[in-house]
Amino acid sequence: MAHSHAAGETAAAEHNFPEKAGEYVRIGVILVVLTALEVGAYEVAHRAHGTALGAAWFVPTILVLSALKFALVALYYMHLKWDGRFLKGIFTFSLFVAAIVILALMVLMAYHYSFAGTLPKVG
Amino acid sequence: MAHAEAHAHPATSTGIDNRKLAIWTFIGSECLFFASLISTYLVYRGKSLVGPFPKDIFEIPLVTFGTALLLFSSLFVVLALNAAEQGNRGKTILWLGLTITCGLFFIGMQVYEFSHFFHKGLTMQGNLFGASFYTLTGFHGTHVTIGVVWLLTVFIELLRGKLPPAKALNLELAALYWHFVDVVWIVIFPVVYLMN
């Protein structure tokens, strides 16, 4: 009973998408603006390199803008906002493991470079 | 009526169409695949001993144009799906055609970029940057090409009148894959091109 209720809830959540193309277009405009901000930040950081303004703010800014774009496409265009928890779970779990893979490899290789010398000279 | 047909799906233990569950599981596995490639690029970033280096060859305006193409293609394919679910064949043909066109232009941009870089001396064997760059962006380009072929098959199905609202899921599956290709590029663009 509980199982069929959960299945019904998932089915009801599935395909409850917005019917108006206008919402998709608004998200598209936001994505274009965020991309323009990314490139603008790149230009500012590029020109400020070596000056008092510096470029320490650049990487966090770019990562936040990129994460916003990623979330907008996943939530609205891939319909995760309206999909059931099961599909959301599959994707977020995969992203979580992917983030762990990236962080683990970077920490491991940073340790390698710090304490075990550099890579062999291959190019 | 057409909309109700588009929303009908067979009863499954999860309440989700098995094909949709399969594509999401596949997308989950692809997240790990690209995470490995992106982390490899990041680990080797700045470790090349000989050139050419990223700052010597990247053309940000060209890649920004390619990024815009992929973003617009994501918008177009979601509009195509919306039209398909409403049974509007004309709009579905228009938006899906534009999606495929954007995808083809993106592939063209990448082919131009790769040949340009090759002539500037960036090869797979030349340095760590070349090996990790071509592997990451090459695999992404391959995914874009597969996405274009998939969308083309749906487009042909549409032109032959074999994509009624009840079969809109065929387009939705291709669209989900296409959006995933787009979100991967959303990560590659800043990580590879802007943070060099």
> In this predicted model, what pLDDT tens digit does every residue of A74-91 receive, in sequence order?
999 999 988 888 999 999
Is the minimum CB–CB distance between B22 and chain A shorter than 8 Å? Answer: no
The CA distance from B12 to B9, in Å, is 9
Report pTM. Answer: 0.86
Do the Cβ atoms of A38 and B194 come within 8 Å?
yes
Is the minimum CB–CB distance between A64 and chain B shorter than 8 Å? Answer: no
Radius of gyration of chain B (CA): 19
pLDDT tens, position by position, B17-29:
899 999 999 999 9
Mean pLDDT, chain A, integer: 79
DSSP code per residue over B158-190:
HHTT---GGGHHHHHHHHHHHHHHHHHHHHHII
Architecture per CATH, domain B11-50+58-194, reads as Up-down Bundle (1.20)
The CA distance from A77 to A24, in Å, is 7
Taking CA atoms, what residue in A is nearest to B20?
Answer: A87
Do the Cβ atoms of B195 and A58 come within 8 Å?
yes
Confidence of residue B151 (pLDDT cuts 50, 70, 90): very high
- The answer on pLDDT for B99 being more than 50 is yes
* pLDDT recorded at residue B16: 85
Is the minimum CB–CB distance between B108 and chain A shorter than 8 Å? Answer: no
- The answer on pLDDT for B152 being more than 70 is yes
Check: complex ipTM more than 0.95: no
How many structural domains compose chain A? 1
Lowest mean pLDDT among A42-51, A114-123, B167-176: A114-123
Domain positions in chain B: 11-50+58-194
Do the Cβ atoms of A24 and B187 come within 8 Å?
no
The CA distance from B183 to B196, in Å, is 20
Range of the domain at A26: 18-78
* pLDDT recorded at residue B147: 97
A119 lies in a domain? Answer: no
A99 lies in a domain? Answer: no
| Of the partner residues A35, A98, A99, the one whose CB lies closest to the CB of residue B68 | A35
